[in-house]
Chains A and B, each alone.
Chain A
Amino acid sequence: MPLLPFRILAALAAILGGMFLFVLLRRAWRASGFRRRDQYRKHWSQRLPSLLSGELPGYEEIRWAESREVLESLLLNRLAAAEVSERERITALYERSGLLEDRLRLLRGGRRWQRLDAAGLLGQIGSRAAVPALLEALQDRWLPLSAAALRSLGMLQSPTAAPALLLFLRQQRPMEPNHWVEAAVACVPHPEDFLPLLQDEREAVRALAARALAESPHPTPFEALNPFAFHPDPEVRAQVIRALGHSRDERALPLLVAATQDEVWFVRLKALRELAEMEAVSGLDAVLRSTGDSNFQVRQRAAATLAQLVSSAGEALEKLMENQDRYAVEGFLSHLARAGFLWRSLTLLRSRREPSRRDAEKLLRGAIAAGHAAVLLDAIEMHPEWRVRMAVARWVARLDNPALVAELEQRRATASSPRSRRLFRAILNSRYSTVGDQVHGSVGRPA
């Protein structure tokens, strides 16, 4: 074999052998590293209570990077599940032991990845002393670092960061939008501060400011939001509608009702959602109208809103059926079914509270009229509680609905168990002995 090909083969074989060796040596090295870390972990875990109560870790103990990292990870794990008083003690320990200072130093003057790690950790540590350094990092040109700083500022929830965050958006620096929204929502105490940005010429700035306004946990005064309710940008309009809902101001209701007829579907959707949040019964007509909206998602939302607005689902269904809108009725019943409410309402047939029972009956009667009788017949066959099966059977028997006879006959013929078959037979038999509201038969006893 010529020399060159042989050398190439030998080189490849050497690379392969080197890789094998590397994998095995690395495994051995990591195993010893893990043992060392376990020892540090044990050491710090034993000392943690005394450290938290005020003792200082020794210089020698904390000097080694590995030891320091183990202590930090222990503290961070504890922080994640700590209550307020313990959080304060852990943060104080961070400050006292010099760990915080160390991280701040690394954030300002460390190597690239050290800066990134420090920026991420400072947010988790929760000390507001880190805010100035994080604000400096926010201006860094390396995107992962500024993103980490944004995230950490969001975790620290410091109002002192608010002006810098607003400026950051105005400058339209490259960023991950969700990070900015999270940070802004956490740090800006007055949502009104976002309002000037809604007038910005740049669409991206407007959209983000509007999102932050809507997500803010602090309600925005109605007077401040009112001028933006008919903003030409639908994205802004939709978010202002959300903020109006959060304001819980009754003066916002006419605006929300008007927004249910907005030309853009997602604005209508948001308006319906906020009407539900505000539990605005006065907006019921608008919601009923929206159940027949041209957009499927708006119709679905309207059905869900209706279920939330009206204290009783039976009453809501009755109102919908008055409109004779089949789509709306179907949407409403589907919403109730997917939320598990339709099935739960069956147990209410046994309720001792008269209004609850009446409403459940109203709802189920509406469901039968809308072609959803199967839910009752399935319950008779499958409900895990026998008493509920009986209650449903009695109620169906009392209903005396001729439209159900064929289906009941069919169920009786195909019932999976003799018990269910007997129940269906009893319903059918009792139907012929029904007089008014009284039913005489094996399932006719009052529930």
Chain B
Amino acid sequence: MHRYVKEFCRTALLLITASLFLLPLLWMLVFSVAPPAASSLFPAPDSLTFSNYVALAAEIDLWQCYLNSLFISCATVLLQLLTSSLAGFALAQYEFRGKSLLLGFLLALLALPFELLLPGEYELLHRLKLLDTYAGLILPCGVTAFGVWMFYNAMAAVPKDLLDSARLDGCSEFAVWWRIALPAVRPTTTAFCVVGLIGNWNSYLWPAIVLHSESKYTLPLAINNLAGAYGQQFGQVMAAVTISSLPMFALMLFLHKEVREGMTSALHKQ
């Protein structure tokens, strides 16, 4: 009997915590489909309408922002994946002079906050005339110390014999990387891509500094501007947040197991 009581308490406690965590998001959904003027929970809005979404679409060029966000996130992650996996592969599988120095440098970069680079990066982009361009936004983010380090750990676990046998079969070094090493670290790749996509989708500080023209705005920029300008139209903002987070929720829904495994294994090797 005692055991059942304990189990019941445990389950109840967990469910209560989980629902408390969901509550803000649930109310976001509710108010996004409530009449625009609704702000009261008691009584809760009783009619369902999409007028918030319609008004939102009239307010900002949602489609354009979506495309911007999608393009920038995907391009950044692909570039990061390319540089991180290549560098990680080289660091893990090759012996060359200065390797330990490079590894030390990598660890030092890991500890360096990105914010330190902002002023210098801004000045550089200004000189290269890359401010307010996608290239200026994406290229500086193209290499991440964390990514290189993550792939370095994963690639170090790929057996050398496997790579050597591929070389004997006449694979070029590039092919060894592309056809043997990269598929071998697939969980890391998935986790890196999903986490990177979510991170870039939600990034605000760097785009806010680089982008000036509204037609290039990403979703976080556009929606925060909207919220600043129309502070009281909160149904509209809830609608905006709902549709901007939807793709990432979907991603997490389908891939959360892979992400969990990839992230935990990557971090535990430290």
Are A and B a genuine interacting pair, yes or no?
no
- B residues engaging A (CB < 8 A)? none
- A residues engaging B (CB < 8 A)? none
